[in-house]
Amino acid sequence: MVLAIGGLNANDSVGIFQAEELHTQALSMLSCVLEEVSLRSVQCVILLTIFYGLKVMPTKAQEYLSIGSIKMQNLMEIRPVNKTVDESGDLIYDLEEYETRAFWALFILESEYAGTLHFAKTGLSSYASNMRFPSLREEPYHWQGSPESESSGIDEPDPHFLAEIGVRKIIDRTCYTFNNSDSPTTNRTPFAPIVAKELQSQLDEWYLCLPDSIKFDKSKWPATNTRHSTRALIRAQYFATVILMYWPCIMEIIMTGECQTQEHRDAFKTAIDSYIQLVLCGTSVRLSELPTAWPHAISIFAMSATIMRMTQRTTLAYDKPDELESSIQHAFAFLESMIQCSPSIRYFTMILHDLHDSRSHSN
């Protein structure tokens, strides 16, 4: 599967052909993978999820992701040695390093797909509070008979993994908070903006903890030709999370057509500022480097549609309309570049064009 993913990412037809051949070979071993409850079987299913994500086949990716999540929980529960109790009496899962990384890889992927597809709850997220984070340093892997195994140093991995875990936990907390709150009709005016500000403070703490290798200056607007990098992806993730935090507040503006309070007016500007930043970075992503291309594209569609609807339904005007329109056009170009990969993205792009035309006529 590793070779298949590498072949799929190659920029030539031979690489794609090799990916299909290697994928076929990997699937021939799938029965063994599905029968086992082991770290190896979980890792294989994660690779299948990534492969189908790169192929822009989201439901297939989701199918293997669900299998991996259930396997991971079985792996955690069948061995008593995995569990200890800390001083506060909470249960802690003491997994080995690569088991820990497999858990958090599944957590990130499940969070991504659950945001865009109807996703059956596997129960994996309920373990997140009782799971230690992966180490900042790689465990040395000793290849049998390798003369370098004793002398090789320990490399620091890309801190993007830890940053992703952190922001996914915030997103998970955001969804939980709003799903378990009072109905908007009973407490509409104060709830959404106040909770959004509280969640924003947690995101800012996350931002301050980013290491220099992936830290970005959120006060400066990136150039539209930003080259894709881990820093650009983390930047896009930050501003996407801001929009999610203000989502209920945005919905209130759309439902009422009014910005009732100063908090709503602030949320209106914050949401559009964040959307512009998200699009400038999020549309610079090379799809061959993004194993969750479909959820990423659908998120850009959903946020673009919501921003269009919000600006259409209220008399409040954004102070930089040209920048907003430019960002919407960037979103269109990105989605249209993926039309050949997915019929659903073609359909969503048509919806977005209709909404944009309706917004233009109303203005």
**Model confidence over 29-51: pLDDT tens digits?**
888 888 888 999 999 999 999 99
Q: Are 203 and 71 in a shared domain? A: no
The string of DSSP letters for 163-213 reads HHHHHHHHHHHHHHHHHTS--TTTSHHHHHHHHHHHHHHHHHHHHHT--TT
Please, is 174 exposed, middle or buried when counting C-beta atoms within 10 Å of its C-beta (0-12, 13-18, 19+)? buried
Q: Are 195 and 342 in a shared domain? A: yes
Closest residue by Cα to residue 37 from 78, 97, 94:
78
Query: Rounded to whole angstroms, how far apart are CA atoms 173 and 180?
Result: 11
Q: Are 201 and 345 in a shared domain? A: yes
Q: Is residue 331 part of a domain?
A: yes
pLDDT digits over 222-255, tens only?
654 444 467 788 888 899 999 988 888 888 888 8
pLDDT digits over 71-95, tens only?
999 998 887 666 777 666 677 788 8
Rounded to an integer, what is the distance from CA 306 to the centroid of its chain?
18
For Cα atoms 18, 13, 53, give the angle at the middle one, nearest 5 degrees: 65
Q: Are 109 and 165 in a shared domain? A: no
Contact (CB, 8 A) for 272 and 307? yes
Contact (CB, 8 A) for 99 and 73? no
Q: Is residue 74 part of a domain?
A: yes
Query: Rounded to whole angstroms, how far apart are CA atoms 112 and 165?
Result: 11
Q: Is residue 104 part of a domain?
A: yes
Q: Which domain holds residue 204?
A: 160-362
Q: Are 248 and 352 in a shared domain? A: yes
Extract the runs of DSSP E, i.e. beta strands, from 51-164.
Answer: 83-85, 91-93
End of a domain among 71, 105, 120?
120
How confident is the model over 325-349, as a mean pLDDT? 93
**Locus of tokens 């297939």:** 60
Beta bridge partners, 85, equal 91
Q: Is residue 130 part of a domain?
A: no
Q: Are 328 and 262 in a shared domain? A: yes
Q: Are 191 and 332 in a shared domain? A: yes
Number of structural domains found in the chain:
2
The rounded percent of the chain whose pLDDT value lies above 90 is: 33
Higher pLDDT: 290 or 356? It is 356
Q: How many CA atoms lie within 13 A of 127 on its CB side?
A: 26
What integer pLDDT is reported at residue 151 of this predicted model? 39
Q: Is residue 257 part of a domain?
A: yes
pLDDT digits over 144-187, tens only?
333 443 434 444 456 888 888 998 888 877 766 665 555 444 44
Contact (CB, 8 A) for 198 and 174? no
Q: Are 185 and 285 in a shared domain? A: yes
Q: Are 255 and 354 in a shared domain? A: yes
Dihedral of alpha carbons 280, 284, 289, 295, sign:
positive
**pTM for the model:** 0.84
What integer pLDDT is reported at residue 175 of this predicted model? 67
Higher pLDDT: 205 or 159? It is 205
For residue 126, the SS3 value is helix
Interhelix angle for 247-256 vs 230-245, to 10°? 50
Q: Are 106 and 208 in a shared domain? A: no
For residue 93, the SS3 value is strand
Q: Are 205 and 103 in a shared domain? A: no
Q: Is residue 113 part of a domain?
A: yes
Q: Are 67 and 186 in a shared domain? A: no
